[in-house]
Amino acid sequence: MLTGAGCFNSSSTKSSSLPPDQEEYDANAEVDVEAETPDLNANSTVEDYEDVSAEIKDLSEDIEKMNAEINSLNSVNTNLE
Amino acid sequence: MNVKNLLSLFVVLQLIVMPVFAVQAAPKDNLTAEEQAELEAKAAESKAQAQETAAEVAEKLGLEFADLQVKLIAGLDKSVEAIDNAIDTINASVYMSSETKVELTDGLKTLQGKLLDYRRQVNNADTMEELQAMNTEVIALLKANKTVIIDAIKESMLVITEQVSQSVEKIKIKAEAALKALDVECDSESFAEIEKLVAELETTNASLKVAIEAEDVATAKTQARAAISLSVNLAASFAVLVDDCEEEIQAQAEINL
């Protein structure tokens, strides 16, 4: 039976907790489906589902931050005099 | 003032002094009063012309050199600053690795180094010819590299939109797995809402992946923006679902203990 946070082996949660200079990124990396799939079953508790909910929220917030970065890049002056 | 300017001014002074001196040194004893007056008038005219030429040459030499030098340095500074800004923005990203940042900023740093080298040369130049030659070289360098910032920014955007795509994929995996596992009789509209949002996220992500593959930055940005509202809505709906079904989930877990 799964209990509490950290049981889902979520790479997203792990990644979000790292400071920026420790972020590892590989543009060609495939999403590890097994690692991202929450281990939920008929025995799972409300806390287990709340953990999944928190992970989805973290990921959606990450997407918002990524979009903010895209906007920053978009505002860069690309004109060389 | 540089050596060339000093030499030029010396030539100009010769233009002023020599005609006057020549006229003054000419024998006057055998000239009539009329010829003498004519000669003096010509001397005055030569002197005036020489002075005018001197002013023109001085202005041309002095101001044009300084003007071009200042303009070249200002232009180079502007380009260096634009590159700096692009490098800083890329390096500020949280969603790119150090290795990716180095790859993306490498070309920018190389061009910046060349521009700074030209700036030093322009600053130390002595002649108009040197400045004009450097001006030509700088223009050619910038023309050859006019898309270097655009390319780096475009590539950075594609790297980040790829991250968006991966995060969307992770959300989809988690939401689908949770819906599958949540086998309880629970009256919540969020079930249908989450299923609808997952389907829309899948469609959006498919379009995003196609745009990234095609390096279509405009479409990738549009799809990434669409993914934001969908994922935010999905996160909210999922929280509501867990809240709505709290009792049922707990009851089911207790039964299966």
> Residue B200: inside a domain, yes or no?
yes
Give per-residue pLDDT as tens, B90-116: 999 999 999 999 999 999 999 999 999
Q: What pLDDT shows up at residue B117?
A: 98
- pLDDT (tens, 9 = 90+) of chain A, 81 residues, equals 222 122 223 333 334 434 344 345 555 568 999 999 999 988 899 999 999 999 999 999 999 999 999 999 999 988 876
Q: Which domain holds residue B178?
A: 158-256
* Total domains in the fold of chain B: 1
> Residue B106: inside a domain, yes or no?
no
Q: With a cut of 70, list the residues of chain B below it in pLDDT.
A: 1-31, 46-63, 257
As given in the structure block, the two tokens for residue B112 are 């910046």
Write down the residue that tokens 């190389």 correspond to: B110
- Partners of B256 on chain A (C-beta within 8 Å) are 42-43
> Residue B79: inside a domain, yes or no?
no
> Residue B85: inside a domain, yes or no?
no
> Residue B164: inside a domain, yes or no?
yes
Amino acid at A39: D
Is B144 an 8 Å CB contact of chain A? no
Is the pTM for the entire model greater than 0.90? no
Q: What pLDDT shows up at residue B59?
A: 57
Does A79 sit within 8 Å of B252, measured CB to CB?
Answer: no
Does B235 sit within 8 Å of A57, measured CB to CB?
Answer: yes
Write down the residue that tokens 């790479």 correspond to: A11
> Residue B95: inside a domain, yes or no?
no
Task: Point out the residue among A50, A59, A73 whose CB comes nearest to the CB of B156.
Answer: A73
> Residue B113: inside a domain, yes or no?
no
Q: What pLDDT shows up at residue A63?
A: 95
Amino acid at A78: T
Is A7 an 8 Å CB contact of chain B? no
Residue to mutate among A14, A30, A69, A72, with most B CBs inside 10 A, is: A69
Asked if ipTM goes beyond 0.85, one says: no
As given in the structure block, the two tokens for residue B179 are 């819906």
Task: Report whether B227 contacts B208 (CB < 8 A).
Answer: yes
Which of A1, A14, A18, A6 minimizes the C-alpha distance to A51? A6
The C-alpha atoms of residue B169 and residue B206 are separated, in whole angstroms, by 10
Does A38 sit within 8 Å of B183, measured CB to CB?
Answer: no
Burial B216-232 (b: 16+ CB within 10 A, else e): ebebbbebbebbbebbb
> Residue B6: inside a domain, yes or no?
no
